[in-house]
Structures are given as structure tokens and as C-alpha cells.
Structure 1
Amino acid sequence: MTIEQPAATSRRSAVSADWSREQWLAYADRLLDSARSYASPGNARITFPGEEGGYGRAVDGLEGFARTFLLAGFRLVGARGEGLDELADFYRRGVVTGVDPDAADRWVRLDEHAQAKVEAASLALVLDMTRPWIWDRLDALTQQRVIDYLAPVVGDSTYPKTNWLWFRVVVQTFLRSVGGPWSAADLADDLALHDSLVREDGWISDGPERAYDHYVGWALHVYPVLWSRMQGAEELAAGRTAADVAGLDRFLQDAVALVGADGSPLIQGRSLIYRFAAAAPFWVGAFAEVPSVPLGQLRRAANAVVAHFDEHDVPGDDGVLTIGWHHEWRELAQSYSGPGSPYWAVKGLLGVALPADHPVWAAPAVPLPVDAADQLRVVRSAGWVVSGTQADGIVRVVNHGTDKAAAGSLVGDSPLYARIGYSTATAPLADERAWEQPLEQSVALVDATGRATHRAAMELVDVRVQDDEHGRLGIAASRSHAHWLTPRPSPHRHGSGLAGDVELAGVVTVHSLVRGPWEVRLARVESLEPGADPASLRLRVGGWALAGDTAAGDTAAGDTAAGGTVEKSTSDASPVAVANGLRSSIRPLLGQGEPRIEVRRDASPLGAEAAVPVVEYPVAVGEWIATLIELTGAPSAAATETSVALSGDASQTTVSVTWPDGTATTSRLAHPGEAPGAIR
């Protein structure tokens, strides 16, 4: 098969022009109009079509109401209520019904299901934002019922130690403002928990695990700013808001660099079905008036993200957000996801709460960082090297510090967190097989039965940008206790890797050198477990997975990958996968590597067929192998022969690379025990 590769500029089509404020309002109203057509008789539940969620239909209906209530609140605030009486009346009636204990479509109570604690935060936040149009027009009985409905949050110690802390803070702040019960001790504990999760450069971990994903922006940075604007919050903040805004400002400097030129956010982390919620931190930056990122760039970034999905027909003709990415793909859901869950996406439309006279709407557009120039930076907290290339608009992340696992634990690799690479143009494989057997963007020991090892929880060894006479490149490294996993069944899947029975394989160290679209990946098996026979093992390196309705590949190995057809070529030993104008290739540089392409069906949210270039090496303990990995959407160009040379000993190793564009670099590799990024 042959798939034509379009010009690089095609990946920019989604953000060719900024939306006017009227276009933002039209997009928001389309979602609201559709949602209201799925309301229950009393308007308290909005149950979208689709398979029942893991928590049942009653929770599905509450999610549908509460999450679209967020968007209704944004609309009312941005319009100052003008011309939206019908919208306010609809949701006000839903509140009356929701807290009526005798109503057939009442809300699930907080003491009936934990998910109600999540939705209660949206209810409380919007009731606070829209007091003149909803809360102040509720009768006294309904107001008391709302207070009674929310009151169980007080003193509840069962909230997970994650972004959920803000659900309790927001609800108790609202309760306090309307004469309801609240606890100063609860608020102090929750704010202290938030502070304990703050990491370097404005990043925040979603809990004690190494969990860096979109929740950093759409929850852990959004809520502090919106909370600070709630009635009475200034008295509770005790001067902390300036620090919260400073952290947001620093985070946004990285966040704007993680948006692809086509508007795609990074396809990494759980709850990806929330899609354009990834635009929320840019809007909240405008609310907070952050000093370092211009209003025009914040609006541009938010616009790019939402427009990306609009260009891919999200929502569909029926105006409903499905469980998926560009289209419905239920494998992307977590066990808690139901048909109303995707509507947390409306956080990305927070900008409609900014009135027409807000300066963000008149600010001159500022290009995304990847539009302006090639990008190379590190996110130290997450252990990421970020490489964006202007020629094709793709942003790539090479990951050596994020796995959504506790340090020192041995669990399965989550495809959403623990892969070595993520990008704005590719998605990790996320079917059941991918959770059990790492393939793409991995370095794994593979036994005779085909079992592949996992690397969580890896140890971050290095993360830095080298910028000296030897050249500019990103460098990151990690070491892992590679282990096979026999997973145990679990009804609760929240994005973490699988738990199960562990069999240790050995210690593997991986270093990534990153320039533009390329990564030179160095790997070494430091040791094997007693009794392990290296002759029975292979060291497999996986490249970028490309997906589409069809995928094409060529390889000198002459293999036909199971599950699809792969084109053959004997031109070189560099397997290439091609799909949707993208090229993913891999090439062994050191070691006796055997390349091929693996094809997976129904494994990716981006298409029915996915192709992954891989190289397998014989295992030789203590010896380095090196692999060149490339992802590009730019037209092919003449390339220089790539080479790698290592010198030194166990205490100090130097690597010299001649890259495909002819650039030569020399770097010293860090070793375990050195502080990550300490080498200069």
C-alpha cells in the first residue's frame, strides 16, 4: 500500500486563524443545546447516549448535569446574564429537582457514591459564580436542601490525596459563604496537601506518585485561581494567591510549548477523553493576569487546542462528546468513565466567562512556541526533554521520570505514563495487550515466550539541556529494575499501571540524546537476575507508533507483521512506518540489531491500524547498544550517515554522535548517584 504524504503545513490547518469571541460562544452553545435535549423530566440529570458508565446510570446523569452546568455558568458570567434567561431557568430548575429527596431524577447524594463528591465541586463553583441568576432566585427551602446536599463533605476523610482536595475546598468555601457548615481544619489540611504536591518550576504532581499529566493544568492550577475568586475565599487564602499565580505563570511557560502547531495537546496521561480541557490553564492564566505569557499567546494556545478538535468533527453531527479522542474509542476510558464524563472538556471553554470587553479578546495573537522556532527544553519535575520542530509542528516528549508509580515500587507500565516517548502527533497503544506488554517507546527484555519487561518505577538519572561548544541537545536517562508482570484482575482502572505478580529480570539503564525529530537511545543491561540466561533473551527497542485507517511500512527485515500488511524494501536496514503524512523510523547504530515493524489492530485512539518500528538485540551484559529513533512530518531530505562512538570507563562515559543532518555532538553520560541535571 502507498499513503501519500502531504506537505508539512497541513498539520497547521486547525489553527490557521483565531476564532472571534462569537465563534467561541457558538461552539459553547452548540454543546449546551445538545445537552439539554438529553435532560430528565426535572432537568436534574442529563444522560447522554452510549454505554452505561462504570458507576451506573444515576451517576451518568449527575455527571451530565454538573459538567454542562460548568459551561452554562461560564456563559452566564461572560454575558453578565443578558439574553440567557432560558438557560438560567433550565439549570435552576435542575438544581431544584436535584436536591428534592422525593424527585425521581434527584441527584445521587455524596454519601451514596464517591463520584458525587467530584460533581459537587462543579455545582458549588457555578452556584457561586452565578449567584444573581441562579442561587439568589432559589426559594429558601431549595437553598437549605442544597446546603444539606453538600454538607457531607465536612469532616470527610475519604477524599483521595490527589486533585480531589480541591473538590472539598471549593464546596466548603461555598457552604461557608451561604451559612452552611464548614471546617477550618479541613481547609487547612487540604491546602497543606496541595502545597506538598508542588514541584519545581510550577509543576504539581497529582498525588504522591510521579503523576504529571493534564491534571496539572486543568485541575491543580485551575482550581486555585477560580477558588480565589469565590465569595469569602480571600479571607481563607491567607495571602497564598500570589504564590499560586506565580506557580501558574511558570507552568504556563512550559505548557504553551507542549501544544503542537496543529493544536493537538500532548497525548499523554489519563482522562484523555476530556480532550480540550487541556485549554483550561491558558484561560485561567488570562483570569490571573500572569506576567510572563502574553494574553495573545494564552488565547492562541487555547484556541489552537479547541480548534484542533473542531477540525476533527468533535463533537459529531449530534453535538455530543463521545468517549474517545478524534472519534469514539472506548478503550481510552478509565473504569470511572461514563457518557457524561467527556464533558469536563468544557473547562477548555472557560474563556467564554471573560466578557467581551476583557483585554484578552483584543490582544494581538502571539504564535505558539513551536510555530516560531524549534524548541528544546526540559521539565525537570517530570523528567522530560521536550523537542518541538517548526518544520512539521510536532512536539515530542522523551520521558525518564514520569510513570504514575511510587518510587521504588514494581508495577506494570501504564501506557499513558511510563512510555519513553509521547507527542502531539502520535498516541500510545492503549488496548489490553499494551497494558500487559510494552511495545512502542520502550526498552524491554523479551523472553522466549514473547513476554516483555516493564520499567516502572524507574529511577531518574539525568535530565538537562546541553548547550556548549559540543552542540545543543536534550539529555535524559533512567535506570530500572526490569521485571515481568503477571497482572491480577482489577475492576478499578484509573490510569496507573497494572498490579500483579512480579518476576525480576535484571537492571537496565537507558540514556536519550535528543535533537529535533531524532533521539539516539543508548541502553545497557547492567545485570541479570541469577539463573537468567542471556542467550534466551532479547533486548527490544520500540519506536513511535503511527496509526490511521491504514498504515504503511517498509523494512529490510522482510517480515509481515501479524494483523496487517507491511510493505517490503531492501534499500536499507531502517524500518519506516508511514501514516497520515508522518514517518516513524528506527535504525540500529551499535549492536547486532534486527529491525522490523510490528502492526497492531484496534490498539490506538488515532486509527484502526497502528505500526511500530522495533529493533531487537542479543543480550550482552555490560555492553551498550544504540538506536536512532525518528518521528517527522517534514519532507524527507538527504541524510548524513549517523554514527555513535562511546569512550571512557564505568565511572565516566563520553558519547559522540554524528546526527542525520551532519551535526556532531559530544556529551558525558550521567551515572546513578549523580543529581539529575548536575552535569553542565
Structure 2
Amino acid sequence: MTAAVGQSIVDIAGDLAYADWVRSRYTGWTRATWRALADAALTAVRPYASPGHARIDLPGPASRSGPVSDGLEGFARTFLLAAFRLSADGADDPDNVAEWYADGLAAGTDAASPYRWPDLAELNQARVECASIALALHETRPWIWDRLDDPVRQRIVDWMSGMNGVFVWDNNWLWFRAVTEAFLRSVGAPIHADDIDLAIARTDEWYVGDGWYSDGPEPHLTPGREHLRNFDNYNGWAMHFYPLWYCRMAGEHAEPGLRDRCRARLRRFLADAQYLVGANGAPLLQGRSLTYRYAMLAPFWAGAIFDATPLVPGLTRRLASGVVKHFVRNGCFDEHGLQTLGWYRPFPRIRQNYSGPGSPYWSSKGFAGLVLPADHPVWTDAEEAMPVERADVAATLGAPGWVVSGTRGDGVVRLACHGGDHADPRRPGLDDPVYARLAFSTHAAPQLSDAARAEPLDSHTALLDADGRPSLRRPSHRVLVAGRVGVSRYRAHWALGDDRYLLGPWVTTASVLRGAVEVRLARVDASPPTGSVEPAVSAASVEPVAPGPWRLRFGGWALASSDRPAESRGGTPDAPVVWVRRDDRLASTVAGLRGLTGAGLAYASDADPLGATSAVPWVATDGPVAFGEAYAAVVVLSGRIAGTEATGGVTLSVSTGGDGTEVTVRWADGETDPVRLDPP
């Protein structure tokens, strides 16, 4: 069944003609729904194609690589979607998708065409898109490659051969080269085998355990665990996805043991990754390239395709259908059926400088499951509930340094981040909100305005200087991640411009996360004497240590809304509580527990990808922070509890000795969590 002519993507998502509420009791979606969505998305981009279809020039701001690159990106990434759609169903192609993209391949490699693709030596970004074209050609071999004229095939080989030995970045980009060369080898073209060997070797070096890769090292650092700090969605949609798809493309040429090694690692990753999706289908908002949206489904589908998942087939489909349905219902496709730069609505602040109008179609990886035939259990088994739909979830992800908690009552997943922050650990730097915040969630987003980047508040514990400017956190240093406790430390610093920073004291922050409640602790310790510089910090990049005094502020979750949510206050002068709540009952609360007697709320417009306005509650010291003292607050994001009830009877006991401070968090049911806050 294909989508009716003119039927919108939103209509397809809710069309009962595709639905099966018996087999898919959570989403109603079937393989027919997925196919119809793919067909509609592919049809929607056609009006933006150049003559001959070599480029798809979608509307929107250009990337740093320019419009020619962006047009190639539009072609390559939608071709990947077409490939997944055709792989198992190429004989059923009423919209002539195969022929349409075959025309584009011919035009893009025609040196005489004004729309020819840039040589791979000309443009870095073209190397990314080449890998998508190679993968798509492999998946559509009977329907496209085998039917192309010999001169066109030779032109494609000639163009792709520019990947042999070409420069690529020392991260997931190594696999763009390897995947391309796997296809070249399959058609008898020469390759540089060393490129593939390097991709495999470096990927093994970046594996930190428990299913997690760092997306390359921080540059110029001595090899070791400390230089592996880059944890985000690239772990799934690149570092797990490409090596296994390389094995699929390489066949008998795949290196011995690679497939089994990658399958075991992916299986371990998915055991944890299933906890990072909310009951409403919202994935975690953390890391770069968030405009790729449901591309985060790529490792889940890869798990099913390569028999590398601990999830039963019905859970894989329920999770995947839930995620895509969530995005479709919340407007990720505009009135023309196009994906825009944003999360739900268009939101340009979410883009990186490499993001162009075609970039969101990296989400095509989220349709990889269509390579599985209609009789595969992932399509035929009944949907199974996600973990957070069955019970509260608690998980400790040691590799990235995340303490995770999901609550069944509201379907919210949140985590405390005390691990990698994608930063050079040797020197101070600017904060990137998608990495530097203390907490991330499926239901709240880091604030992305210029003001929020320069002066962070949400999910941040900061020292405020005399002008009220908050300190920056990156780089942070992991101290402990165990059970439901995470502890990290950073050297407070303030940007002076021109990559120079004013240094301040050390801030040690701890999170104890149980259910919806985070008990956040902090201790501030004096820095070295004025005029000195950290040994690991370049003297050219810093000024002498700031003189102080400073106040300490705990920022809560940002709550997004279409309208400005109302502020509520409660508590006592010594333990203030401030919160905001939306009409759907989701609320953000911060309550002072120890030493934090000031409170307030900050509003912003156009800072949050989840809504037009946002509000962040906070608590702070009224006067200067005391070195060596323990400060504490309760920080809550919940659809069930808010305000004064959020503290839930939590109490603290504090013991200070010569070697530091121990804080014992006592919960209302009598359970306790001891936390060390030691000096640097």
C-alpha cells in the first residue's frame, strides 16, 4: 500500500488504513505506515531537485560548505532513505524512486553538467555524502546499479575513487572512507586497504567499554582514557552503525572477527540505550547534530538487522515507531512535507556550522529497519512496552559518566552528567550547552540562545562574580560515577575574549538521582595563589586568578512552553522553593536544602528547541560562598510532583574533616546515600 496522492505525512501517521492496534497496541504503526512515510518524504523533496536530479536544493540557510555541497547532501541523504525503502521492496516501486535517483547519479557524475558533484578532493563535506551514496548503491544494487549503463557506472566509480587515501577527520569520518571503499571493492575497483585497516584499528582504540565509543579523541592529547571524552548520538548512528554495515557490504572480505566483535558491543550498548527514550517517544536531547532527530534509531535497527540486540523484536518496533511518531506529531515535517533545521518546529539555533538544509535527512538512518522483509519478527511480533512504561528505571552508564533515572508515572527520563563533555581537559574553554550541562532529559532541552551559551543557567551550578556573571564549566573532570551518585569537578573560569579566561576557584558538584528527584550538592575550594596558572593550562590563554568574592547558584531544568508559564514560590526563608508548571502538568522545581537562601526564575524567548518561551528556576547563596562548605538543593523535572512536595522529606547530615566533607542524603523511606565532597 502506498500513500494516497497529496496525503500529508501527518495524515499518514494517523491513517487507520495503515494501522493495526492489535499487533501495535502502543503506536498503531505497521511496516505499511513506515513505507508510506518514506514514500511521502521522498516525494516531497522532488520539486527542489535540479534538472537531472543531481542535487536537491532544499530551502533554508546554507552550511559553511556552500550551496553546491548542500545540494549534494540533499541528494545523498534522501537517496539513503530511498535505498532503505527499496532494499527489500524494490520490485514494488510505483513512484519510480529507483529510476529517479538513477538519473541523479548519472547527472551528478557528468563532468559536462552544470550540476555535477564536486570532486572529493575539492570539498570535505562531499566525503560524508559519498558514503551515503555508496551504502545506498549497495542496498539498491538489483534496482539501480545493475541497470545503469556502463559509462555511468564508470563515472560513479571514478568519482568515488577519490575517497582512496583522501584526508578524513580522526573520528567517525574514517568510516565514510571505509564504507565507500567497501562498495568500490565490490564492483572490482581498486582501493587503499590501509584505509579500512585504520578505521578498524582506531575504532577499537576508541572503545571505552559497556557498548560505548568516543567519537574520536580530543586532538593533541596523549593516548589514554582521559582523551576519550566525546559521547553523544554518534556512538550509535556512526560508531556502531558503520562498522556493521561495512561488514554487510564487504561480505567475505570483512576482516576476521570484526562482525562478531561489533555485534557484541552493539548488544551491550542497546541494553542501556533503551533507557534513553521517554514513554512519549522523545529521545534524549544531548550532543551535537540534534537536527538529525530520529537518526538515533539507527543502532536499534542495526541490532535487529545484525542479530545484535537484547531487545525482543516487538520492543524494537515499539520504540522506533514511538520515536518517529513523536516527531511527526510535533511538527518535524513542515507544510511542504520537508524536514527543517530544528527539533520539532524550525529552530535554527540547533544547527552547527556544518548544517545545511539537507542535513536533517541524516534521519534517513532511522528508516534502516525497512531493509528487513515484511515477515521478519520485528514487523510481525506484537509491540512490547518500553522499560519506562513498565517500571521506574535506574541505570548507571559508566562509560559516558551518566546516572539515569526514568519514572513510569510521567514517562520522563532524565540523567545527571558527570563524565565526558567533548572538551580538551587541559585548559579552560567555552561551554557548549549540549555537552556542558549537569543534566539532560527526554522532556527538557539545554538553552541554546547566545545569552545562554555565554552565561549558562539551566542545569548548571555556577559561581557568580561581582557583576553576576556565571562561571563556565568545561572542562569538567569526573570524580565518581557509581550507583545513583555522580561527582565531578571543574575550575571556574570566565571568558575574556580572544581565547583568554579569568580563572576562579574549584567547584565540586555531586548528583544523587532517585526517581524524579536529584539532590545536588556543591563545594567550592580556593584556587592557587593569584598570578599562578594551572600546570596543564597554557599561560597565553588565561589571566591571573579572579579575586572574588563569589555567590553560588544552582540552576534547575528549563521548562519550555508555547506561552509564558507562571512562577510559583514556597518554602521558608532558609529553604526557598521556586517552580513552574505547564498545562500538561510537567514542572521544573528547585528547592534550597542547605545554604541557599536566594531564589528566582529566569524567562527566555527563542532559546529552547521545545517551545517558544522557557523558564528556569534557581536558588543561590545570598552572600559570598564559603570555601569548604557543603551546599545543597533539590532539583526536579516531573509530570507528577512539583513545588514544596518535591523535596519529599529529604534530609542531609554533614560531616567535615581534614580530608574533606561527607554528606549523607536520607530519603523519606529511610534509605541513605553517602557522598564525598573532597578538595581537589
TM-score past 0.5 threshold: yes
Tell me the amino acid that sits aligned with residue 217 of structure 1.
Answer: G
Partners of 1:325 and 1:364 in 2: CA distance: 29
Partners of 2:52 and 2:522 in 1: CA distance: 61
- Structure 1 partner of 2:15: none
| Secondary structure in structure 1 of the residue aligned to 2:431 | coil
| Secondary structure in structure 2 of the residue aligned to 1:574 | strand
Partners of 2:308 and 2:254 in 1: CA distance: 22
Partners of 2:247 and 2:596 in 1: CA distance: 59
Structure 1 residue 374 corresponds to structure 2 residue 392: yes
Alpha-carbon contact 1:276-1:348 (below 8 Å) kept: yes
| Secondary structure in structure 2 of the residue aligned to 1:186 | helix
- Structure 2 partner of 1:528: 527
- Structure 2 partner of 1:619: 625
Q: Post-superposition shift, 1:364?
A: 2.5
Structure 1 residue 443 corresponds to structure 2 residue 458: no
- Structure 1 partner of 2:57: 47
Partners of 1:36 and 1:125 in 2: CA distance: 21
Alpha-carbon contact 2:580-2:617 (below 8 Å) kept: yes
Give the TM-score taking structure 1 as reference length. 0.89
Q: Post-superposition shift, 1:54?
A: 2.5
Distance 1:125 1:312, change over 3 A: same
2:182 alignment partner, one of 158, 173, 184: 173
Alpha-carbon contact 1:411-1:456 (below 8 Å) kept: yes
- Structure 1 partner of 2:664: 656
Q: Post-superposition shift, 1:65?
A: 0.4
2:674 alignment partner, one of 667, 674, 679: 667
- Structure 2 partner of 1:395: 413
Alpha-carbon contact 1:259-1:424 (below 8 Å) kept: yes
| Secondary structure in structure 1 of the residue aligned to 2:52 | coil
Structure 1 residue 587 corresponds to structure 2 residue 595: no
Q: Post-superposition shift, 1:51?
A: 2.5
- Structure 2 partner of 1:479: 489
- Structure 2 partner of 1:385: 403
- Structure 1 partner of 2:612: 608
Distance 1:251 1:666, change over 3 A: closer
| Secondary structure in structure 1 of the residue aligned to 2:194 | helix
Tell me the amino acid that sits aligned with residue 577 of structure 1.
Answer: V
Structure 1 residue 350 corresponds to structure 2 residue 368: yes
- Structure 2 partner of 1:513: 512
Alpha-carbon contact 1:504-1:529 (below 8 Å) kept: no
How high is the sequence identity, in percent, across the aligned residues?
A: 42
Structure 1 residue 86 corresponds to structure 2 residue 96: yes
Distance 1:623 1:176, change over 3 A: same
1:633 alignment partner, one of 635, 639, 645: 639
Tell me the amino acid that sits aligned with residue 586 of structure 1.
Answer: V
1:423 alignment partner, one of 441, 444, 467: 441
- Structure 1 partner of 2:246: 227
Tell me the amino acid that sits aligned with residue 406 of structure 2.
Answer: G
Structure 1 residue 216 corresponds to structure 2 residue 235: yes
**1:125-274 alignment, distance < 5 Å:** 125-156=135-166, 158-209=167-218, 210-230=229-249, 232-274=250-292
Partners of 1:302 and 1:100 in 2: CA distance: 38
Structure 1 residue 26 corresponds to structure 2 residue 45: no
Partners of 2:589 and 2:130 in 1: CA distance: 47
Query: Please, which moves more after superposition, 570-579 or 169-178?
Result: 570-579
Q: Post-superposition shift, 1:112?
A: 1.5
Tell me the amino acid that sits aligned with residue 485 of structure 2.
Answer: I
- Structure 1 partner of 2:551: 538
Alpha-carbon contact 1:415-1:430 (below 8 Å) kept: yes
Show structure 1 runs of 5+ residues with no match.
1-12, 466-473, 489-499, 558-567, 674-680
| Secondary structure in structure 1 of the residue aligned to 2:577 | coil
Partners of 1:116 and 1:415 in 2: CA distance: 28
- Structure 2 partner of 1:554: 567
Partners of 1:663 and 1:275 in 2: CA distance: 41
- Structure 2 partner of 1:334: 352
Alpha-carbon contact 1:596-1:614 (below 8 Å) kept: yes
Structure 1 residue 596 corresponds to structure 2 residue 604: no
Q: Post-superposition shift, 1:581?
A: 2.6
1:149-176 per-position Cα deviation (integer Å, ceiling 9, x unaligned): 11121112x2111111110100111111
Alpha-carbon contact 2:561-2:611 (below 8 Å) kept: yes
Structure 1 residue 643 corresponds to structure 2 residue 651: yes
Partners of 2:449 and 2:309 in 1: CA distance: 42
Query: Please, which moves more after superposition, 209-218 or 330-339?
Result: 209-218
Q: Post-superposition shift, 1:635?
A: 5.2
Q: Post-superposition shift, 1:656?
A: 2.5
Alpha-carbon contact 2:587-2:641 (below 8 Å) kept: no
Partners of 1:363 and 1:408 in 2: CA distance: 51
Partners of 2:479 and 2:564 in 1: CA distance: 36
| Secondary structure in structure 1 of the residue aligned to 2:435 | coil
Partners of 2:619 and 2:112 in 1: CA distance: 63
Partners of 2:658 and 2:602 in 1: CA distance: 35
Tell me the amino acid that sits aligned with residue 505 of structure 1.
Answer: G
Q: Post-superposition shift, 1:526?
A: 1.4
Alpha-carbon contact 1:506-1:526 (below 8 Å) kept: yes
1:561-607 per-position Cα deviation (integer Å, ceiling 9, x unaligned): xxxxxxx9999820102234311111111114311111112111111
Partners of 2:651 and 2:518 in 1: CA distance: 12
Show structure 2 runs of 5+ residues with no match.
1-20, 219-228, 531-544
Q: Post-superposition shift, 1:316?
A: 2.1
Q: Post-superposition shift, 1:652?
A: 6.4
Give the TM-score taking structure 2 as reference length. 0.89
Partners of 1:155 and 1:22 in 2: CA distance: 42
Q: Post-superposition shift, 1:117?
A: 0.2
Partners of 1:670 and 1:635 in 2: CA distance: 28
Distance 1:84 1:507, change over 3 A: same
Alpha-carbon contact 1:543-1:584 (below 8 Å) kept: yes
Partners of 1:406 and 1:240 in 2: CA distance: 31
Distance 1:666 1:359, change over 3 A: closer
1:69-122 per-position Cα deviation (integer Å, ceiling 9, x unaligned): 001111111214333571110000100000001111111221121000000000
- Structure 2 partner of 1:561: none
Distance 1:168 1:594, change over 3 A: same
Partners of 1:540 and 1:234 in 2: CA distance: 58
Alpha-carbon contact 1:652-1:668 (below 8 Å) kept: no
Structure 1 residue 573 corresponds to structure 2 residue 576: yes
Q: Which has the higher contact order (CA 8 A, sep 6+)?
A: 1
Q: Post-superposition shift, 1:399?
A: 0.1
| Secondary structure in structure 2 of the residue aligned to 1:575 | strand
Q: Post-superposition shift, 1:407?
A: 2.6
Alignment RMSD (CA, Å): 2.2
Distance 1:196 1:571, change over 3 A: closer
Tell me the amino acid that sits aligned with residue 610 of structure 2.
Answer: L
- Structure 2 partner of 1:292: 310
1:306 alignment partner, one of 312, 320, 324: 324
1:290-336 per-position Cα deviation (integer Å, ceiling 9, x unaligned): 25221111111111111110111321221000000110010100001
Partners of 1:365 and 1:15 in 2: CA distance: 6
1:330-373 per-position Cα deviation (integer Å, ceiling 9, x unaligned): 01000011111101111111112211122211122221111111
Tell me the amino acid that sits aligned with residue 521 of structure 1.
Answer: R
Tell me the amino acid that sits aligned with residue 536 of structure 1.
Answer: P
Tell me the amino acid that sits aligned with residue 257 of structure 1.
Answer: Y
Alpha-carbon contact 1:645-1:657 (below 8 Å) kept: yes
Q: Post-superposition shift, 1:254?
A: 0.8
Alpha-carbon contact 2:575-2:596 (below 8 Å) kept: no
